[in-house]
Chain A
Amino acid sequence: MTRRTLNKAEPSRRAVLKGIGAGLLASTVMPGAVRAQGAPIKLGFQLHVTGIGASYGRWYQRTADAALKMINDAGGINGRPVEILYEDDGTDPKRGAEVVDKFVNKHGCDLVFGTLFSHVVIGSAPRAGELKVPYLVCSEGYHVASGMLNRWTLQPGITDARSQIVSMAPWVAANLGKKVTMIFPDFAFGHDHRDFFTAAIAAQGGEVIAQIAVPPTETSFTRYFPQIPADTEVLYHVMVGPAVLTFVKELGEFYGSGPKPAMFGFIDSLEAVDIATPGLEFLEGSHFWEGHNRMKPADAGEHEAAYRAAVGVDDNGASVSDPKDVATYSHMFSAWETLYIIKAGMEASGYQGPADRQKFVEAVEAMTEIPYGIEHPQGAKRFNGKTHQVFGTQNISQVQGGKLVRVHQTSIEDGLYDDAVDYTAQPF
């Protein structure tokens, strides 16, 4: 059992490696310095490359890259080219805050955006507030509009879970049933579903008869299903993480060919999953919320085709280069739309550099009606500057012949609720 000691060769090898590293660094930094038309605007994208949000992260990056290309091809922002720096947050709140720090203090980013998972947002927003850097999230959580975060955190690219739920609950009560059992992930995002759907269905004369919370890292679900009461009329399910397919498959096995309640799911339970996967046949006839219809509806808007082409998604919602690579279509538009909000906000505020960060936030707060267009392909929206939250339309789709077919679309008004905060009254 002899232990090797460091020999003389090793320090020199390390020196060589250092040299290679320095060379690589230089080669990536240099091109920025030689560019002609002024320094680029640098945007930090807090990306879920690894961890439970990885499937989303991959598509968020593709979507943001596509929007970036379109913006730069059209002349950038305020005549300057735009760059996005991606940094992996591991879908982890602690790492998220570190990434915000790194973007601002190391890379000198003008702002930070793109975060999806709500626990990462909640973990990162305080640091963004301390650093006084605009933080534009795509997380669907109610934590922005609830007043829990700060003046620097905005959600202009995607509606929040509360609004989604409030707008769809009347349809669920009227069409599927009034006795509802909920299955949801046991963290902030799932708790929004639990709290707001329970209240919303009660307002329709319905009732949530059981709430089943599942840890987001769970890999086996059959053991949770016996908690579903037998007199459930509607099973409301929303699940996230790498095991979503196992979740729906086991649900199908559990009910088998026996009687089962009507099912209303958030497409989150099936994001990045092919609905034609063997074992999912039982979903036929069930309903899903979709933020943005994965399978192109017959009456899709005029910009839908151009948006799909730009992000590389076919009419079934899968990658054009690999039909098995299914997009996180209901959520990823938020990366695109948030980037266009950044462009609009920077142009309205005449943004020049980090000194104008406050002016940028004020410019976004001043936004109200956001029209449908290639900049906002999911649909028209209405921004509430006081709560920092955007409102939009929602879709309910039914699985018909193995396809998701839109059967209902809510209006912006359906999803409005009373303000819980006025961020504009808070100091910067």
Chain B
Amino acid sequence: MPILCNQMAFGPFLLLALLEGTVTAAVLALTALGLSLVFGVMRVVNVAHGAFFMLGAVLAWFVASHVPGAPALGFVAALVLAPLAVAALAAVADRLVLKRIGYDPEATIVATIGLLYIFEQAALSLFGPDARPVPAPFTWRIQFPWFGYSGYKLFVVAAALVVLAAVWLMLTRSRAGLIMRATQVDRQTARAFGINVDLVYTGTFALGAALAALGAVLVVPIQQAHYLMGGDPLLLSFIVVIIGGLGSLRGTLVAALVIGLGDGIISMFFTPTLAKIIATLAVALVLVFRPQGLFGARA
């Protein structure tokens, strides 16, 4: 049901579509980043990625509701603590499970599906079935002449840019990034040069989980923490990572922008369901015509 009869004028309508699309793109980039990183370095698909995202959100609620004072204090505490806790959990999961199965690609998929269920059910048992709100650190709202818009949503966009830049700098400029890239290129040779590949894998897996959790903490004030919330981000992350090219950060960013803005505009001018159909179709087309993704290297 296309609309545009008697609703908002075209200009404001497009503005709102672009705002929503940009926010979606930022959230997508944040959530897909960790998945892309883990695949790039470790060559394994982490199905539990959405569960790490969910844990980040639920922990954010837990931390924020236990820090007294202004909502901003609780939010900042969550921003620090939730990714650390999730990273620690991921490191343990890596040592206890993934390392034992030798990072075998198929076995890892099955193992991370198992982790996904464990984390979801644990969250259900420990935090309950309710959706929990986390107050945004500030409630500033932009009032356009035609509609209002949450200022915090724009903050999420800025924060996503900062996080993406930081990860890119870390990978290209730091010694840790160099070691990760070396492991990505050839793990045997890296080992021969004295790189502790086990440590790199654990670190990368933990970093990927921490990025998911960080994304979740940023997103949770505009959604809510709920034990089943990991499903959508997982699916969308896969869509973004497949279109962008597994392991390519640049691809992830570009694909997130395309999918996010496309989603915003198609959702507004047509229907959100059509936007999802088109995103899924895009994945199918990419897999058929360019299986390595837009920016991925041919395997």
Determine if A400 is an interface residue (Cβ-Cβ < 8 Å): no
For chain B, residues 134 to 187, give those with C-beta under 8 angstroms from any C-beta of chain A. 135, 139, 141, 143, 145-150
Enumerate chain A residues within 8 angstroms of B128, measured Cβ to Cβ: 58
Contact A223:B133 (CB < 8 A) given known A1-B104, A256-B147: no
For chain B, residues 3 to 27, give those with C-beta under 8 angstroms from any C-beta of chain A. 3, 5-8, 13, 16-17, 20, 24
Among B79-87, B209-217, B224-232, B283-291, the stretch that binds chain A is B224-232
Contact check, A215 vs B147: say whether CB atoms are below 8 A apart.
no
Enumerate chain B residues within 8 angstroms of A243, measured Cβ to Cβ: 131, 223-224, 226
Which listed residue (A58, A258, A279) contacts B147, Cβ 8 A? A258
Contact A278:B223 (CB < 8 A) given known A227-B3, A230-B7, A255-B147: no
Which listed residue (B124, B141, B150, B268) contacts A226, Cβ 8 A? B268
Enumerate chain A residues within 8 angstroms of B139, measured Cβ to Cβ: 278-279
Contact A254:B148 (CB < 8 A) given known A222-B16, A226-B13: yes
Contact A246:B223 (CB < 8 A) given known A49-B129, A218-B272, A253-B141: yes
Enumerate chain A residues within 8 angstroms of B13, measured Cβ to Cβ: 226
Determine if A4 is an interface residue (Cβ-Cβ < 8 Å): yes
Determine if A208 is an interface residue (Cβ-Cβ < 8 Å): no
Determine if A277 is an interface residue (Cβ-Cβ < 8 Å): yes
For chain B, residues 106 to 138, give those with C-beta under 8 angstroms from any C-beta of chain A. 124, 128-131, 133, 135
Determine if B93 is an interface residue (Cβ-Cβ < 8 Å): no
Which listed residue (A2, A58, A220, A258) contacts B129, Cβ 8 A? A58
Contact A229:B148 (CB < 8 A) given known A219-B223, A242-B226, A245-B224: no
Contact check, B129 vs A55: say whether CB atoms are below 8 A apart.
yes
Determine if B76 is an interface residue (Cβ-Cβ < 8 Å): no
CA distance A258 to B141 in the complex (A): 12
21 contacts between A and B (CB under 8 A): A1-B102, A50-B129, A58-B129, A219-B223, A220-B24, A223-B20, A223-B272, A226-B7, A226-B17, A230-B8, A242-B226, A243-B223, A245-B133, A246-B131, A253-B141, A253-B149, A254-B149, A256-B143, A256-B148, A278-B135, A278-B139
Determine if A54 is an interface residue (Cβ-Cβ < 8 Å): yes
- B30 CB to nearest chain A CB (Å): 15
Determine if B100 is an interface residue (Cβ-Cβ < 8 Å): yes
Determine if B222 is an interface residue (Cβ-Cβ < 8 Å): yes
- B279 CB to nearest chain A CB (Å): 14
CA distance A57 to B128 in the complex (A): 12
Enumerate chain A residues within 8 angstroms of B135, measured Cβ to Cβ: 278
- B14 CB to nearest chain A CB (Å): 10
Enumerate chain A residues within 8 angstroms of B223, measured Cβ to Cβ: 219-220, 243, 246
CA distance A250 to B20 in the complex (A): 12
CA distance A171 to B86 in the complex (A): 52
Determine if A257 is an interface residue (Cβ-Cβ < 8 Å): yes
Which residue on chain A has the smallest CB distance to residue B102?
A: A1
Contact check, A256 vs B272: say whether CB atoms are below 8 A apart.
no
CA distance A302 to B124 in the complex (A): 38
Interface of A is mostly: loop
Contact check, A223 vs B268: say whether CB atoms are below 8 A apart.
yes
Determine if B34 is an interface residue (Cβ-Cβ < 8 Å): no
- B178 CB to nearest chain A CB (Å): 26
- Interface footprint category on B: 35 or more
- A255 CB to nearest chain B CB (Å): 6
- B276 CB to nearest chain A CB (Å): 9
Enumerate chain A residues within 8 angstroms of B16, measured Cβ to Cβ: 222, 226
Contact A258:B148 (CB < 8 A) given known A50-B124, A219-B229, A246-B223: yes
Enumerate chain A residues within 8 angstroms of B264, measured Cβ to Cβ: 223
CA distance A272 to B268 in the complex (A): 30
- B68 CB to nearest chain A CB (Å): 15
Determine if A413 is an interface residue (Cβ-Cβ < 8 Å): no
Interface residues of A (CB under 8 A from B): 1-4, 49-51, 54-55, 57-58, 215, 218-220, 222-231, 242-246, 250, 253-258, 272, 277-279
Contact check, B20 vs A242: say whether CB atoms are below 8 A apart.
no
Enumerate chain B residues within 8 angstroms of A215, measured Cβ to Cβ: 272-273
CA distance A229 to B20 in the complex (A): 19
Determine if B267 is an interface residue (Cβ-Cβ < 8 Å): yes
CA distance A224 to B7 in the complex (A): 12
Enumerate chain A residues within 8 angstroms of B273, measured Cβ to Cβ: 215
Q: Which of B8, B16, B148 has the most CB of A within 10 A?
A: B148
Which residue on chain A has the smallest CB distance to residue B267?
A: A223
Contact A226:B232 (CB < 8 A) given known A245-B131, A258-B148: no
Which residue on chain A has the smallest CB distance to residue B16?
A: A226
CA distance A253 to B152 in the complex (A): 11
Contact check, B224 vs A254: say whether CB atoms are below 8 A apart.
no
Give me 19 other A-B pairs in contact (C-beta within 8 A), A55-B130, A223-B264 excluded. Answer: A3-B101, A54-B129, A54-B130, A215-B272, A215-B273, A220-B20, A222-B16, A222-B20, A226-B13, A229-B7, A230-B7, A242-B131, A242-B226, A243-B131, A243-B223, A244-B131, A246-B224, A253-B148, A256-B149
- A413 CB to nearest chain B CB (Å): 37
CA distance A343 to B228 in the complex (A): 37
Enumerate chain B residues within 8 angstroms of A226, measured Cβ to Cβ: 3, 7-8, 13, 16-17, 147, 268
Enumerate chain A residues within 8 angstroms of B8, measured Cβ to Cβ: 226, 230
Contact check, A255 vs B20: say whether CB atoms are below 8 A apart.
no
Which residue on chain A has the smallest CB distance to residue B103?
A: A1
CA distance A245 to B225 in the complex (A): 11
Contact check, A258 vs B143: say whether CB atoms are below 8 A apart.
yes
Contact check, A272 vs B102: say whether CB atoms are below 8 A apart.
no
Enumerate chain A residues within 8 angstroms of B148, measured Cβ to Cβ: 253-258
Contact A57:B129 (CB < 8 A) given known A1-B102, A219-B229, A223-B264: yes
Which residue on chain B has the smallest CB distance to residue A222?
A: B20
Enumerate chain A residues within 8 angstroms of B17, measured Cβ to Cβ: 223, 226
Closest 7 CB pairs of A and B: A256-B148, A54-B129, A242-B131, A1-B102, A223-B267, A242-B226, A256-B143
